[in-house]
Amino acid sequence: MSAEKEIVNYWYNKKGLFTVNNIKTSGNRDAGILALKFDKNIVNDIFHIQVSCSITNNISETANLEKSIAKIVDEKFEDKVISGTINNNIRQFSIQKDNIKKIMVVGAIPKSRKKEIISKFNENGVEIIEFEDILYDVFEQLDTQYYKNDIIRTLQLMKFLLLSEPAKMAKILTNSSFTSTSRKEFLSKIKD
C-alpha cells in the first residue's frame, strides 16, 4: 500500500472505523479502501475511499473539468469491476449499495478552482477530502508511543525529532519548494 493510503487508512482507524484495504479486483486493479462504521454489531455506514495524491499532476489543469471529473468517478467508483468487487466485500452487511458513501482523497487543490472542483465531484455523488487535511490531523495527533507502521513511525520521528529543532525546521522551510508567497503566508500564521 502506498504511503498516502497508509496514512488515510490510519486516519480512518483513529476515527474508530474498521478498514479493509488492498482490495484487488479480479483483474488485479486497486478497488480502494472500505471503511466500516459499527454501532455495536451493526454496520451503520460504509465508505468507499479512493486515494489519488499526485504531487505533479493536477486535475485543475484540465480544459473540460466536468468531463474529466465524470471520467474519474466512473473509473474509480462506477466501473463494473470495481463496484462488483466492492459489493462482494460488503455483501454480508445489510447496507444498500446506494448508501455507500464515496470519498475521494486528493492532493492539494489550487485555491483558484477549489470550489468548482469540489462542486463537480459532489454533483457526481463523491465527497472530496484533501490529503493535506488528513496528513495534518494525523501529524497533529501523533503521540510518543511506538508505532509498528513504518509510515506512521516516520511521521512521528519527523514531528518529535526533526521539527522540534528550530534551525533544521527553518532550513526545510527555506528550500526551493517553498515559494515566497508560501513563506509570507507561513510567517503570518506563526504570528496568529
170 vs 30, residue with greater confidence? 30
172 vs 40, residue with greater confidence? 40
The closest of 2, 10, 1 to 153, measured between CA atoms, is 10
The pLDDT confidence band at residue 76, using thresholds 50, 70 and 90, is very high
Render pLDDT for 17-69 as a digit per residue (tens, 0 to 9): 999 988 888 888 888 999 999 888 878 889 999 998 875 556 656 678 889 89
pLDDT of res. 151: 94
pLDDT of res. 77: 92
Instruction: Give me 104's grid cell.
Output: 475521494
Render pLDDT for 79-133 as a digit per residue (tens, 0 to 9): 999 988 888 888 777 766 667 899 999 987 888 888 999 999 999 999 999 999 9
Q: Are 54 and 107 in contact (CB under 8 A)?
A: yes
Residue bearing cell 469540489: 118
Does residue 23 sit in helix, strand or coil?
coil
pLDDT of res. 28: 84
pLDDT of res. 55: 59
Is 70 exceeded by the pLDDT of residue 157? yes
Does residue 148 sit in helix, strand or coil?
coil
pLDDT of res. 176: 64
Report the greatest alpha carbon distance in the chain. Answer: 55
**What is the value of pTM for the model shown?**
0.83
The residues of the chain that CATH labels 3.40.1350 are 3-141
88 vs 155, residue with greater confidence? 155
Q: Are 47 and 34 in contact (CB under 8 A)?
A: yes
Among the residue ranges 63-77, 134-148, 158-172, the one predicted with the least confidence is: 158-172
DSSP H stretches of helix in the chain: 3-14, 65-73, 80-90, 114-123, 131-141, 150-157, 166-173, 180-191
- Distance from C-alpha of 20 to C-alpha of 32, rounded to nearest angstrom: 9
The DSSP output letter for 43 is E
Q: Which architecture does CATH list for 3-141?
A: 3-Layer(aba) Sandwich (3.40)
